[in-house]
Each structure stands twice: as structure tokens, then as C-alpha cells.
């Protein structure tokens, strides 16, 4: 580690102690951010962790909806998002008003909100889900019909594994959606011995050619347990950092080197220091929204 980087990490450690803070980082964050985090994981793992923390501050290195969920689950803690503009484009594709309108048109239909939604949308849902547990969540419902908000690709993947009728919202993750079938087929030609792991936010035709379709943490577990030595990874490229750390003896190739979420990459060590020093940008959720969002999140976590 370079001297400037060492000084930054030392300052972060000092500020963490002073604030009684814990740093959470998503698997798509910059490598150096993952390295200084106390916990690194996917949305489900980080949501669970947020409910178990004994600290005064949570610094959430991710995007807006993740910090919102942490704030909903920890109303008595200070939750800060180091970069104010780190928003999730998919989460912006559904509003509470739109979901309310859709619910009025549908009779006897449950609403499942992917965690990649804003708190106001979660508050309109019966339950939340992540890419790791969407099938389990949908199958747990008494309803035969489910409105799935906002990711249509995850909805279509979940539909393959349930007898319930899923109505997909017309949203998507721009980063995963740009991983094309041709990208994966080319990678397979370049690395014929590699197994293909893809995220269920990918297009259906990309999922069709994968050896496993799973969440980011699911990919890490799969790579750790598999006897294979090479893997093609169909998700945001930030996951390769964690894969290489956990499985240094194995090789990982991105399905597409262009699968980069610019918003996930906004957080830097410098912005973490600013957040710890000043408390910016603190995430607050209106009480009227908080109750419904917490109910939907806790119902998911109870599963």
C-alpha cells in the first residue's frame, strides 16, 4: 500500500473509533473501499448486518437505497452516505405514486419490492426481497399474483422458479442490462474451461447460458466451493476484487469489462473521511414512510 493510501486508512481508523462507527461496503465498491470496510457483502447480507450492529454511526459505502434501508432498520443510529449523488438508476424507475396507482388497478395482488427501491416504494410493498432470496420471498406469499417492482429481469428469473403469476415492473439495472449474450459467448470462446456465473439482473438470454445464476455473495460461495479453476463473472466488475481475495488461486474474467456502475464507484477513501468528520450526508427517512418500509424489510428478514 502506498504511503498516501496508508495515511488515509489510518485516518479512517482513527475517525471510526472517535465516532464509534462501522463501515459497510457493497461488493461493487472500489477495491480500496472494500478493503477498509468492516463488512462487505450484498444487499441481503448488509441489511442483516445493519440490524445487528452495536455502534453509534453507520457509514454506508453503496448507493442511496442501501443507506436508506440501514436508516430504516436503525432509527436511533446516525447513517451517512459518503457521496450524496450515489443514486441507483433502477431505484429511480419506480415511485410510490406509480406503485399506488398500479395497486389500485390490480385485485388481490401482493407487491414485492426489490431492495433496489427507495424507502417510499418499500412502504407500499407487502414484503421486500433481494436477488439472493426473491424466489423464497415470492413462494412465501399467500397470493397467487405478485407485482414485482422494479427489476423486470429479476422478475423474469424468479418466474422460472415459482408457480405464482408475476407481473414485472418495467425497470432494469443499466449496468447488468448492457451485458449482452455476445459478450458471454465471446468470453466462453476466450476461456473455454471457465464456468459462467451471472447475476439474475442480467437479461434472460444471458442467464440461459450460465452455469449458475445467483447473487454476488452467492457467486463468492460458488467459486469457493467449486473445483473449477476459472470463472466468467456476469455482474458489476467490482465483485472481481472480492472473488480474487477470497479465491487467490483461481482466475476470474469479467463477462464484460464495461459492466461498471459509475454510482457505485463514486465513494472514495477521501469521501469516507469527509463523512466521518462532518456527518455528511446523513440519511433520514420520514416517519410516515419509515414504518411501512421497516415492516416490508423485517418481513423479508424474518424468512
Query: What is the pLDDT averaged over residues 120-131?
Result: 96
Model confidence at 3: pLDDT above 70 = no
Residue 144 to residue 163: CA distance in whole angstroms:
8
For residue 14, which phi and psi values (nearest 5 degrees)?
-65, -45
Per-residue pLDDT, 114: 97
Beta strands 57-61 and 78-80 are parallel
Per-residue pLDDT, 16: 96
Query: What is the pLDDT averaged over residues 2-23?
Result: 91
Q: Which three cell numbers stand for residue 43?
A: 444487499
Share of the chain above pLDDT 70, in %: 99
DSSP letter (8 states) at residue 151: B
Q: What residue has cell string 427489476?
A: 151
Query: What is the pLDDT averaged over residues 179-189?
Result: 98
CB-neighbour burial class of residue 98 (10 A; exposed 0-12, middle 13-18, buried 19+): middle
Per-residue pLDDT, 1: 60
Question: How many Cβ atoms are within 10 Å of 291's Cβ, its own excluded?
Answer: 12
Report which secondary-structure segment, H or E, holds 253. Answer: strand 251-254
- Tell me the pLDDT tens digit for each residue of 36-48: 999 999 887 887 8
Domain ranges of the chain: 3-86+264-286, 91-172+288-302, 179-254
- Where does the pLDDT of residue 2 fall: very low under 50, low under 70, confident under 90, or very high at 90 and above? low
Residue 296 to residue 121: CA distance in whole angstroms:
10
Collapse the DSSP code of 231 into the 3-class scheme (helix H, G, I; strand E, B; otherwise coil) and give the result: strand
Report which secondary-structure segment, H or E, holds 121. Answer: helix 119-122
Per-residue pLDDT, 44: 74
Is 91-172+288-302 the same fold as 3-86+264-286? Answer: yes
Per-residue pLDDT, 107: 85
* Superfamily, domain 3-86+264-286: NadA-like (3.40.50.10800)
**CATH 2.30.30.140 correct for 91-172+288-302:** no
Question: How many Cβ atoms are within 10 Å of 52's Cβ, its own excluded?
Answer: 8
Q: What is the CATH number of domain 179-254?
A: 3.40.50.10800
Model confidence at 178: pLDDT above 70 = yes
CB-neighbour burial class of residue 237 (10 A; exposed 0-12, middle 13-18, buried 19+): buried
Collapse the DSSP code of 218 into the 3-class scheme (helix H, G, I; strand E, B; otherwise coil) and give the result: helix
Amino acid at each position: 500500500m502506498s504511503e498516501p493510501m496508508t495515511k488515509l486508512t489510518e485516518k479512517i481508523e482513527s475517525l471510526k473509533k472517535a465516532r464509534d462507527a462501522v463501515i459497510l461496503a457493497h461488493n461493487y465498491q472500489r477495491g480500496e473501499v472494500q478493503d477498509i470496510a468492516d463488512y462487505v457483502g450484498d444487499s441481503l447480507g448488509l441489511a442483516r448486518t445493519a440490524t445487528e450492529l452495536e455502534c453509534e454511526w453507520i457509514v454506508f459505502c453503496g448507493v442511496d437505497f442501501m443507506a436508506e434501508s440501514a436508516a430504516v432498520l436503525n432509527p436511533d443510529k446516525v447513517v451517512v452516505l459518503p457521496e450524496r449523488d450515489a443514486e441507483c438508476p433502477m431505484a429511480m424507475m419506480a415511485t410510490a405514486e406509480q406503485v399506488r396507482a398500479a395497486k389500485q388497478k390490480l385485485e388481490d395482488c401482493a407487491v414485492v419490492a426489490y431492495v433496489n427501491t427507495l424507502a417510499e416504494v418499500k412502504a407500499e410493498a407487502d414484503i421486500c426481497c433481494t436477488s439472493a432470496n426473491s424466489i423464497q420471498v415470492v413462494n412465501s406469499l399467500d397470493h397467487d399474483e405478485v407485482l414485482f417492482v422494479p427489476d423486470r429481469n429479476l422478475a423474469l428469473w424468479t418466474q422460472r422458479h415459482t408457480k405464482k403469476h408475476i407481473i414485472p415492473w418495467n425497470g432494469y439495472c443499466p449496468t447488468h442490462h448492457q451485458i449482452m449474450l455476445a459478450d458471454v459467448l465471446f468470453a466462453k470462446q476466450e476461456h473455454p474451461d471457465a464456468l459462467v456465473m451471472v447475476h439474475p439482473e442480467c437479461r434472460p438470454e444471458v442467464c440461459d447460458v450460465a452455469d449458475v445464476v445467483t447473487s454476488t455473495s452467492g457467486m463468492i460461495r460458488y467459486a469457493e466451493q467449486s473445483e473449477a479453476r476459472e470463472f466468467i463473472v456476469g455482474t458489476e466488475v467490482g465483485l472481481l476484487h472480492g472473488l480474487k481475495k477470497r479465491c487467490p488461486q483461481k482466475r476470474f474474467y469479467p463477462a464484460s469489462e464495461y459492466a461498471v456502475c459509475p454510482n457505485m464507484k463514486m465513494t472514495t477513501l477521501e469521501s469516507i473521511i469527509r463523512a466521518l468528520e462532518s456527518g455528511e450526508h446523513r440519511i433520514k427517512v420520514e416517519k410516515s414512510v419509515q414504518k411501512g418500509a421497516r415492516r416490508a424489510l423485517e418481513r423479508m428478514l424474518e424468512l
